[in-house]
Amino acid sequence: MKIKTAAKINLVLDVTGRLENGYHTIESVFQTVSLYDEVTVESAQEISISCELPEEFASADPIPCDERNIAYKAAKLFFEENNIQGGCSIHIKKGIPSQAGMGGGSTDAAAVLHCLNVITGLDLSISELSAMGKKLGADVPFFFTGGTAYVGGIGEEIASLSDYSGRHLVIAKGNQGVSTAEAYSRIDALEAPVHPKTHRLVRSVNVAPDEAYKYVGNLFEQALNLDEVEFLKAKLLAKGALSACMTGSGSAVFGIFRTRDAAEKCARSLRSSGYFAQACETVSQSFVNV
């Protein structure tokens, strides 16, 4: 089985607290976008994984193609949880940059669970798959539905919002990458942070979507203060973006544009300067059959 599986951006992302177990609580709006990895899963005697990276990713974003990969872990968990003997071969053709805050690993893991559910004929529900996905990572459950969703708690609270698909974007990323652990440690060190307007964005998506761009924001921008992020945001805005913001814990940046043509022109300009940049759209689901 072969599917394309979407990346996500955080239209807004706030960190609201830290639990005794070290996990942080968040408030966010997740949105799937038309930037995809292609995942192929085939029945086999053992679990194996291979990765295909475009040249522009290879040097900046090393991806483990072994049992350390979350997609491999997803397959292992699926077989163990369902008492299935055997394995599968997984091939991932990357289109989503890693260390970008776009959920590339999480969406791959969700895709593997989805494909195995179909291949084995188990017909597990989305809630059952989500319970499995949660054991792999906080972002994984979101990708079984995708679209636009408010996400709270440590990522386990997911509530669908009004459809925000069809918005024109540019996703851009330089060479800087940030580990999630380092990003959260810097959040903890912030003094008097200015929190983004999460609930205004939620309300706007639901009742006035054309105005939602006014409320995008990400607390991690203050914590990390990456020069490359600020540079890319400035470039996006100069090229006509309505708003621009870092996604996740970094380091990709998205800009929201009124037209596809304006987004395409901006992406071409950034690519000519040596950056990863791609025009895409917000989409209503994660998985697309190939």
Task: Give the bridge partners for 92, in sequence order.
Answer: 39, 51
Q: What are phi and psi of 168, to 5 degrees?
A: -90, 135
Alpha helices (H) in 70-143, listed in sequence order = 70-81, 104-120, 126-136
C-alpha span between 86 and 84 (Å, rounded) = 6
- Identify whether 61 is a catalytic site residue: no
The helix/strand/coil state of 7 is strand
* CB-based contacts of 184, cutoff 8 Å, min separation 6: 15, 24, 249
Which residue in the list 14, 61, 108, 139 is annotated as catalytic?
A: 139
Q: What are phi and psi of 274, to 5 degrees?
A: 95, 10
C-beta of residue 63 within 8 angstroms of C-beta of residue 90: no
Q: Are 266 and 170 in contact (CB under 8 A)?
A: yes
Pick from 190, 212, 231: which is nearest to 31 by CA? Answer: 212
Contact partners, residue 83, CB within 8 Å, separation at least 6 = none
Instruction: Give backbone dihedrals phi and psi of 282, rounded to 5 degrees, phi first.
Output: -70, 140
Is 139 marked active-site?
A: yes
Does the bond joining 251 to the residue before it have cis omega, within 30 degrees of 0?
yes
- Which active-site residues does the annotation give? 8, 139
